Structure formats: C-alpha cells, structure tokens
C-alpha cells in the first residue's frame, strides 16, 4: 500500500519532532533540533534509511489512534486475535537531552509484540556502531550517540545492523522503551522515568490547552492547531518552524520538494495574530522577540527566512541517497530561497511589531527603531521587482502583493505615530509613500477589463495572496475591485472549491516543471475574504470543507490534491494551521461552542 502523508501523526518536545505512522513506525526524527540531520528518514526512503517500529507481531496498520484530549501524546491501538494493545508515543519536555518515549500497555488478552529499531544517522546514510552497556543498547557514530533502554528490562538482540525485540503484554501490564540522544563526547544524560514523563506530559499539555480563549464551533480542531503550532516552536528561542519536515512533495513524483524546517518572516503577522487572539501572550512575546533578534542588522540584508535560532546561512544541497517520498526526488536540505528578495516581508515585520505594540505585549525600546530603519530602506526599495511571496525561482517581477505590503509598512508606521506620537518620526513622509504606493498599485496592478487585481504589473495571471487585500486594509471589503478580485480568484484559481496559489503550469513564472496542489492557507484566506465581503454562509461552508481535510488526528499539510483526495507538501504545516485558527476566530469568534 502506497504511503500517504496524512498517515502520520506528530509528537515533539518543542525542540524537535517525530512522525509516527499508522503501523506504529517512527519514520522521521531529527536530533537534537528540528533542523538537525535525521536519524530516522524512512519517510523519504524506506526502512533501510532508519525507523523504529513497535507493533503486535504480524500486525499491519493500527485499528485506531488518537491524541489524548488536548495533548501531543499519541495513543495507537491494535485489536488482534490474541487481544488488544496500546502504544503511547510522546517526547517529554526536555531538561537537556531529547527523549522519545514509547509505552506499551495490554488492554485485553495476551499480545506478542515485536520491536525493530534501525538507527541511521545523517539522513539514513551512516550506520552506527552498536554495543551493550549495563544491559542497555548504545549506538555511536561520529558526533551522535543514542541510548535505548526499557522498563522493565526487555531482551534485545542485534541482527543485520538492526536491534530486535519480542515480548508479551497482558491486560494492565505496561512496558516502556526510552530512546535518548546526546553528543557522543559527553557523559550519558540522566535517565527519565517514562511513566512519570507520560503523566506529566498529559497534565502539562492539557493545562496549556485550557488557556485557549476560543470557545466557538470546531473548538477541538482549533485547539489541535494551536497545539501543533506550540509543537513547532523551538522553545529556547521562540522561533516557529514552517514544518518539521523536508522534501515532502507538492506533486507526487515531482521536483517541488523543499526544506521547511526554518522560520519564515512572511508568517509573522498571521502567527502573532493567531497566538494573541487565542490568549497565548507568552508565546506571542517569544515569537516577537525572535523576530526582533533575527532581523537585527542592515535593513538591506533582511532575509525572508532564518534558522530556528536566527541563523542566516541555510545553504541548499541535495541528498542523493534518499529516493524521496513516493519517488519524489530530489530530497533537499537547506533552502536556496533564503537569498531571494521578497519585499513583502518588510511590511509583514513592521505590521507584526505594530500589532505587538497595540496588543499590549511588553515594550521593547529598540522596536520602533527597527521599524523605522526597515521603512526607510523600503521607502526607495519598494519600486524594485522581486521574487514575491511564493519564492518563485523565475525572473523577478513587480508583484502586486509585495507592493501592497509596502503600503502596509507605511500605513502601520503612520498609524503608530498617530496613536503614539512620542515615538518620534515624520508621518508626512510616510503618508506620501503610502499614497504613492496605493495609487501605483491601483493603476498598474489592476485589470479594469476583468475587474481584478493581477499577480504582477502588466500580467493577466492571478495570485491568491491578493485575497488579503481587504484583510490588511488596503481597500475596504465592499470595494467593487475587492469583490471582483475574490470572484476572479475563485473562478481562475479555484478547483473543487479550493484555491491554488497561482497558475504554476505553463506560465514560466516559477521556473520549475510540473504543478502542485491547492494551497490550504489560501483556501482559508478565501473563506475569510468571503466573510469580510458579506458572504458569511459561503465562508462557513468552505471552512467546514477545509476542516474536513484534516487527517484522523487533526493535522494538515501544506497542500491538498482534490482529485486524488490526499494531502501534499511538508507536514504538518504551520501556515495551514495558522490559517485555520485565524479563520475560525474571524467566522465564529463571537459564538459559543455547541
């Protein structure tokens, strides 16, 4: 059976994450950070590239699985002829070392379990040296060291460079395995109690979820999206990765396979807005602070993305020994788009910092200076063509959304001075810039014949990012040009009710062969745009359809193929879950659940 992206569930410790399949196999895990090399890379290859499966002997896919309510603790259950069993997977909040905990519990009968651990460091390339120390297994290769232990002790044996185990569990009986990573040159880290870690993890996640302010329809999926965003946060810095994976394809068998284990500035305003609306001010403040650190420096050197600690060098290379998910090659590490010019990010950063100020986040003295420096650079740079929000790898163009976000930058600066004149600055200069950008976009980025804004000046192509025009306040929702743009995007970029980013095939826009699926966050933007223009019932119906695309544990990838009925792209995708949360608040924020 061909694997599907939605067959996976996420566990993590807010520094890295793992994907667990319906068959009980952990097929993706990077240690010790999101952006480290994977030690389980079967997701992008096969079992020989590293995985860890625990399941009933001879069993296939699980009978059922679910997260424990309002947690990131995953229960996977099998009903067999021998009886029923549950495997509970989690990554407890770490002190120093990352731990992967797997607790096996007998539910009925007497079930024989099989375990197969195949560690392969450096994305499946390096086979570690395994040895036994004090009854436990330790794997070492270069800088990496991983310990495997069980409570109570379970016999393990090595064969064909794999670690095997077989044991039985009866009703009420529990066995736990703990996999712990640490640098090979350091002493072994302290041991974690797996059963206590399970208890504490459940309590901590549920306490965190209980803080969510949202109480409208679909609260479960909104909370699940917020938990997912929390899981994609790198706790030491507050940065939020776009996804915990690399190279899950936007088209099966295609080349549109990118590394998303980094932090994008384009996500900043929507992320901040979602966290603030849901009541998570600490997380919003941590993201704001990461943003301030990352963008520090010459405004001309502002990047579209950074590493989880603010790293700037994210050099892209291919991993030739991995065949890719369902043969989608190449597999890439790093992201060459880091070198692109995307002028919209200036607007998004300035908008984010303005939102942080108006929302009452703790004041940072240098925050206004950062905004002013960025805007002063943008005051002349906004006229340049760029690569645009979608990181096209074709020629630079005058993308309309980039110009709209330049307007946002000037508008937010003017508004900030109007509300906080003590900040200091020249609002007349920025008002002039705001008016000039607005006039140019309306003249050169609008197709009067078709009554729609276009993707770039002089183009007939459309772009789903234009759905944000009313949201950012560039034009009011009832403006005929806004309504015309929404209708045109639905007509030309819509597919089975969902929305593509742009027309990829045959336009030469992004310099890549093949196509892609409908983009989930763009479909959420459409729902919100419909609501803003008074078509709330249509918006809610679309939202219901989008929520229905989540997999059985409530997770969304980047894209969706409405023809094949499957998810595409890196998984789970922060932008998709941010879109879900934001649209839920827009549509139902004033309603009660029930």
Name 38's bridge partners: 30
What is the C-alpha separation between 155 and 161, in angstroms, rounded?
16
Mean pLDDT of all residues belonging to the chain: 95
Burial class (CB in 10 A: 0-12, 13-18, 19+), 135: exposed
What band does 308 get if pLDDT is binned at 50, 70 and 90? very high
Q: Which two tokens stand for residue 426?
A: 């020249």
Q: Given a cut of 90, is residue 391 above it in pLDDT?
A: no
Quickly count: other Cβ atoms within 10 Å of residue 190's Cβ. 9
The pLDDT of residue 39: 98
Residues near 479 by beta carbon (within 8 Å), at least 6 away in sequence:
470
Q: Given a cut of 60, is residue 1 above it in pLDDT?
A: no
Quickly count: other Cβ atoms within 10 Å of residue 522's Cβ. 24
Secondary structure class of 109 (helix, strand, coil): strand
Q: Which two tokens stand for residue 36?
A: 């480290």
The pLDDT of residue 431: 97
Length of the chain: 594
Name 397's bridge partners: 386
What is the C-alpha separation between 348 and 401, in angstroms, rounded?
11
Q: Using one digit for the tens of pLDDT, what is the confidence trace for 136-191? A: 899 999 999 999 999 999 999 999 999 999 999 999 999 999 999 999 999 888 89
Q: Using one digit for the tens of pLDDT, what is the confidence trace for 463-520? A: 999 999 999 999 999 999 999 999 999 999 998 779 999 986 655 566 677 888 899 9
What is the C-alpha separation between 375 and 368, in angstroms, rounded?
11
The pLDDT of residue 110: 98
- Side-chain-side CA neighbours of 229 within 13 Å: the count stands at 34
Quickly count: other Cβ atoms within 10 Å of residue 524's Cβ. 30
Residue carrying the six token digits 């996500």: 267
Residues near 346 by beta carbon (within 8 Å), at least 6 away in sequence:
299, 302, 374, 375, 377, 378, 381, 405, 406, 409
Query: What share of the chain in percent tops pLDDT 90?
Result: 90
The pLDDT of residue 393: 77
Query: What share of the chain in percent tops pLDDT 70?
Result: 98
Q: For 452-462, what is the mean pLDDT?
A: 96
Asked if 56 and 85 touch (Cβ cutoff 8 Å), the reply is: yes
* First-last CA distance in the chain: 39
Q: Using one digit for the tens of pLDDT, what is the confidence trace for 392-405? A: 878 899 999 999 99
Q: Given a cut of 90, is residue 284 above it in pLDDT?
A: yes
Q: Using one digit for the tens of pLDDT, what is the confidence trace for 342-364? A: 999 999 999 999 999 999 999 89
The pLDDT of residue 506: 53
Burial letters for 264-292: b for 16+ Cβ neighbours within 10 Å, e otherwise?
bbbbbbbbbbbbbbbebbebbbbbbbbbb
The rounded Cα 9 to chain-centroid distance in angstroms is: 13
The pLDDT of residue 503: 83
What is the C-alpha separation between 71 and 332, in angstroms, rounded?
31
The pLDDT of residue 188: 87
Instruction: Return the higher-pLDDT residue of 188 and 221.
Output: 221
Q: Give the alpha-carbon dihedral of 61, 63, 68, 70, to 10 degrees.
A: 80
The pLDDT of residue 202: 98
DSSP string, 456-490: BTT-----GGGGGHHHHTSS-TT-HHHHHHHHHHH
What are the phi and psi torsion angles at 126 (to 5°)?
-100, 120
The pLDDT of residue 510: 67
Between the alpha carbon of residue 321 and those of residues 41, 74, 118, 258, 499, the distances in Å are 11, 31, 17, 16, 34
What is the C-alpha separation between 122 and 484, in angstroms, rounded?
50
Secondary structure class of 170 (helix, strand, coil): strand
Q: For 284-292, what is the mean pLDDT?
A: 96
Name 65's bridge partners: 76
Q: For 192-209, what is the mean pLDDT?
A: 98
Q: Given a cut of 90, is residue 96 above it in pLDDT?
A: no
Q: For 556-581, what is the mean pLDDT?
A: 97
Q: Using one digit for the tens of pLDDT, what is the confidence trace for 485-499? A: 999 999 999 987 799
Asked if 74 and 17 touch (Cβ cutoff 8 Å), the reply is: no
Q: For 242-259, what is the mean pLDDT?
A: 96
Q: Which two tokens stand for residue 324?
A: 């890719």
What is the C-alpha separation between 25 and 62, in angstroms, rounded?
11
Q: For 123-137, what is the mean pLDDT?
A: 92
The pLDDT of residue 516: 86
Q: For 440-461, what is the mean pLDDT?
A: 97
Name 112's bridge partners: 168
Q: Which two tokens stand for residue 222?
A: 């909104």
The pLDDT of residue 278: 97
């Amino acid at each position: 059976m061909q694997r599907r992206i939605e067959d996976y569930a996420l566990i993590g410790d807010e520094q890295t994450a793992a994907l667990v399949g319906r068959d009980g196999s952990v097929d993706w895990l990077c240690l010790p950070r999101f952006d480290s090399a994977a030690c389980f890379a079967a997701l992008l290859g096969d079992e020989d590239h590293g995985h860890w499966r625990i399941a009933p002997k001879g069993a296939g896919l699980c009978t059922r699985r679910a997260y424990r309510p309002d947690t990131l603790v995953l229960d996977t259950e099998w009903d067999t002829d021998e009886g029923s069993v549950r495997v509970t997977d989690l990554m407890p909040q770490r002190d120093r070392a990352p731990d992967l905990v797997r607790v096996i519990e007998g539910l009925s009968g007497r079930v024989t379990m099989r375990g197969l651990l195949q560690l392969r460091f450096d994305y499946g390339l390096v086979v570690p040296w395994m040895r036994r120390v004090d009854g436990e297994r330790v794997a070492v290769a270069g800088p990496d060291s991983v310990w495997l232990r069980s409570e109570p002790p379970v016999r393990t044996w090595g064969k064909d460079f794999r670690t095997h185990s077989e044991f039985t569990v009866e009703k009420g009986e529990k066995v736990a395995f703990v996999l712990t990573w640490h640098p090979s040159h350091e002493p072994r880290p302290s041991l974690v109690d797996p059963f206590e870690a399970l208890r504490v993890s459940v309590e901590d996640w549920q306490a965190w979820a209980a803080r969510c302010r949202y109480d409208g329809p679909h609260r479960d999926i909104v909370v699940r999206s917020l938990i997912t965003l929390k899981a994609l946060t790198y706790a030491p810095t507050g940065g939020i990765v776009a996804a915990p994976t690399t190279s899950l394809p936007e088209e099966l068998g295609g080349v549109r396979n990118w590394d998303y284990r980094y932090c994008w500035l384009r996500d900043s305003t929507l992320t901040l807005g979602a966290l603030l609306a849901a009541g998570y001010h600490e997380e919003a403040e941590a993201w704001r602070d990461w943003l301030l650190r990352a963008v520090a420096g010459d405004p001309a050197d502002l990047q579209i993305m950074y590493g989880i600690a603010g790293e700037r060098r994210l050099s892209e290379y291919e991993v030739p020994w991995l065949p890719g998910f369902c043969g989608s090659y190449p597999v890439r590490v790093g992201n060459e788009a880091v070198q692109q010019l995307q002028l919209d990010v200036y607007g998004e950063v300035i908008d984010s910092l303005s939102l942080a100020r108006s929302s009452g986040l703790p004041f940072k003295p240098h925050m206004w200076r950062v905004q002013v420096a960025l805007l002063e650079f943008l005051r002349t740079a906004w006229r340049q063509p760029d690569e645009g929000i979608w990181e096209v790898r074709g020629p630079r163009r005058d993308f309309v959304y980039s110009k709209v976000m330049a307007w946002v930058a000037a508008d937010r600066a003017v508004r900030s001075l109007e509300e906080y004149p003590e900040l200091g600055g020249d609002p007349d200069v920025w008002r002039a810039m705001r008016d000039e950008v607005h006039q140019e976009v309306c003249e050169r980025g609008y197709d009067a014949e078709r009554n729609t804004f276009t993707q770039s000046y002089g183009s007939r192509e459309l772009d789903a990012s234009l759905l944000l025009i009313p949201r950012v306040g560039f034009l009011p929702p009832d403006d005929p040009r806004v309504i015309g743009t929404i209708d045109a995007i639905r007509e030309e970029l819509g597919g089975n009710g969902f929305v593509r980013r742009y027309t990829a095939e045959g336009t030469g826009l992004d310099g890549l062969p093949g196509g892609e699926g409908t983009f989930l966050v763009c479909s959420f933007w459409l729902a919100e745009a419909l609501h803003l223009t008074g078509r709330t019932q249509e918006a809610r119906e679309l939202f219901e359809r989008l929520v229905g695309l989540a997999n059985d544990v409530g997770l969304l990838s980047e894209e969706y193929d409405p023809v094949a009925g499957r998810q595409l792209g890196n998984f789970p995708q922060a932008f998709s879950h941010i879109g879900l949360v934001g649209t839920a608040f827009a549509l139902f924020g004033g309603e009660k659940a029930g």
